[in-house]
Each structure stands twice: as C-alpha cells, then as structure tokens.
Amino acid sequence: MKVSAIQMNMEFANPDKNYKRAEELIRVAAKDKPDTIVLPETWNTGFFPVEKTMELADEDGKRTIKLFSTLSKELDLNIIGGSIVNKKGGSLYNTSYIFNRKGECIAEYDKTHLFSYMHEDDHFNKGIKTTTFDLDGIKCGVVICYDIRFVELVRILALQGISILFVVAQWPVPRINHWEILNQARAIENQIFVVNVNSSGIAEETVYGGHSSIISPWGDVLVKASSEEEIITAKLDIEIVKEIRNTINVYNDRRPELYIIK
Ligand SMILES: O=C(O)CCC(=O)C(=O)O
C-alpha cells in the first residue's frame, strides 16, 4: 500500500478556503498514484475557533462527505479525511470520516480523548467507540491527536488486528518531541505501521509543528516531513508485520492477567 500524508497548512476559522485547499492538495498528491491519502485533524476550521465553532462546524459531515466521496471515486483512492469540527444532532464532535476507492464512507470515528488542557471537553462531545476498517483488504485504525497518548486505545486496536494506524493531529511546536516519540513508541510496541499526519502553520497564537512521518512496525521512520506544508509518501510492505511478529512475538508473550488492578 502506497500512502501519502498531506501536512496541510489550514487557515483558522475559514472553512471555505480550507475545503478548497484540501481539494487542491488531494489532487496534487493523487498525481503520485498513492492508494491512500491522509489529512490532519480539524483541517476545516482549525483547533478550534471557540466563539464560532457551532457556526463554522460542518453539519453532520455533509460537506466533507460530499467532497471526499467524489474525490475518492474520481481519483480511485482511499481517503482518511483527517478530522473535522462537526455538528451532529446539534452537538459538536471532532470526527474522522474514511472513504474507499468506490467513494463510499466506510467508517466514522469521533475523538474519544478530548484535550482538556485546551478545554476541548468544554465544547465537544466525547466519542464512545473505537473504529477499525478495511482498506484494500488491510485492516486499519484511526485515532485523533491527544488519543495517541493513550496506550490502551492503540493496544485495543492492535489486538483487533490492525496493521496500519492513522494518527491525524494538530499538534503544537512546544511538544513536538512528544509527538515524535509517542508515534514511534506506538509503532514499535504494537508492531504496526503508524502513519501520523500533523498540521503546519499558525492558528491565532498556536504554531503547529509538522514533522508528520510514516513509521514501520520496526520503528524505522520511512519518511518524515519538515515543519512546512508538505506531502510525504511511502510504500508500506504489509508482509513485514507478520515477519516481525514471527521474530519478537509480543502478542504471544504478553501477560494480560497481570495488567488489571485488583
Ligand atoms: O497532547 C498534546 O500535547 C496535544 C494534543 C492536542 O493538541 C489535541 O488533541 O488536539
């Protein structure tokens, strides 16, 4: 599977401009003929225009679903639609939509761990379930930004058999070392590919750190972006997931009976 990650530089609180830019960047990325394209977190509005979140949010993902189902079908590729600020039944969610090559929306994930440090939980509702999906016969999962700090969340997706984890984020510069280390650790400990896609640019006073990367199940960084808007691409050889587990088999050797507080 060839994957392209779009490290997009969104404009804060300007959905019209951001939908246009996302489409342009997807069309540019598609020229390299990837199987799957990935966008960052809350690319439609930025994270998040407090006063205007309700007004600027997509409505039940309608605008996003229309754009991505058209593009994925026309360009014959899968799209992990980053995440969007989304109004569902009148309440806000940070939602990721996933599309296959036929233009079908095959999965939907609402961010489960809201970033209380920036009061995301005062405005948004928590997702209540994890999500896995198949892309071209490969089982995959998605998590959103702060979610990557929760080792249990990624482990449960790994135990459900994913080979690729997509991590979509708007992760700021001051903690970019956490971003890089957490993504690499999740890849190594779960023996999965981790495709992590951050934003670049500035939203109000926050500077986003870029440094998106695609990491192998052995922890090798196959490709890494700078801190500017950029598209990175790598080919993932899914067979190596099995090969690694045939050498160091952490799934056989783990001791779940010890991992509960009595
Ligand atoms: O965990 C962090 O340091 C950043 C998280 C974040 O910015 C988010 O979840 O949107």
Task: Determine the pLDDT at residue 213.
Answer: 98
Is residue 35 within 8 Å of 1, Cβ to Cβ? yes
217 band by pLDDT with thresholds 50, 70 and 90: very high
253 band by pLDDT with thresholds 50, 70 and 90: very high
Residue with tokens 């804060």: 12
Q: Is ligand 1 within 6 A of the CB of residue 175? A: yes
Is residue 48 within 8 Å of 249, Cβ to Cβ? no
CA distance 75 to 77: 6
Q: What is the mean pLDDT of residues 110-120?
A: 97
Task: Determine the pLDDT at residue 146.
Answer: 98
SS3 20: helix
Residue nearest to atom 7 of ligand 1 (CA): 171
Is residue 195 within 8 Å of 166, Cβ to Cβ? yes
Which residues does residue 221 pair with via DSSP β-bridges, in sequence order? 215
Atom number, ligand 1, closest to the C-alpha of residue 144: 9
Q: CB atoms < 10 A from the CB of 254, how many?
A: 12
Cα(147) to centroid(ligand 1), Å: 8
Q: What percent of the chain lies above the pLDDT cut of 70?
A: 100
Q: Transcribe 172-229 into DSSP letters.
A: BGGGHHHHHHHHHHHHHHHT-EEEEE--EEEETTEEEE---EEE-TTS-EEEE--SSS
Q: Is ligand 1 within 6 A of the CB of residue 48? A: no
SS3 55: helix
Q: Is ligand 1 within 6 A of the CB of residue 145? A: yes
Cα(38) to centroid(ligand 1), Å: 18
Domains detected in the chain: 2-258 (3.60.110.10)
32 band by pLDDT with thresholds 50, 70 and 90: very high
Task: Determine the pLDDT at residue 220.
Answer: 98
Is residue 93 within 8 Å of 111, Cβ to Cβ? yes
Is residue 55 within 8 Å of 44, Cβ to Cβ? no
Q: Transcribe 102-140 into DSSP letters.
A: TS-EEEEEE-SS--GGGTHHHHSPPP----EEEETTEEE
SS3 61: coil
78 band by pLDDT with thresholds 50, 70 and 90: very high
Task: Determine the pLDDT at residue 194.
Answer: 99
Cα(240) to centroid(ligand 1), Å: 30
The answer to pTM > 0.95 is yes
Q: Is ligand 1 within 6 A of the CB of residue 208? A: no
Cα(112) to centroid(ligand 1), Å: 12
Q: Is ligand 1 within 6 A of the CB of residue 171? A: yes
Between helix 176-190 and helix 151-159 the angle, nearest 10°, is 30
Atom number, ligand 1, closest to the C-alpha of residue 146: 9
70 band by pLDDT with thresholds 50, 70 and 90: very high
61 band by pLDDT with thresholds 50, 70 and 90: very high
Q: What are phi and psi of 225, to 5 degrees?
A: -90, 165
Atom number, ligand 1, closest to the C-alpha of residue 149: 1
Q: What is the mean pLDDT of residues 60-79?
A: 98
Task: Determine the pLDDT at residue 29.
Answer: 98
Report the chain's mean pLDDT, rounded to a whole number. 97
Residue nearest to atom 3 of ligand 1 (CA): 175
Give the ipTM of the model, two decimals please: 0.97
Q: Is ligand 1 within 6 A of the CB of residue 124? A: no
207 band by pLDDT with thresholds 50, 70 and 90: very high
Reading phi first (left if > 0) and then psi (alpha if -120 to 50, else beta), residue 30 is in alpha
Task: Determine the pLDDT at residue 219.
Answer: 98
CA distance 204 to 122: 19
Atom number, ligand 1, closest to the C-alpha of residue 115: 9
Active site residues: 41, 111, 145
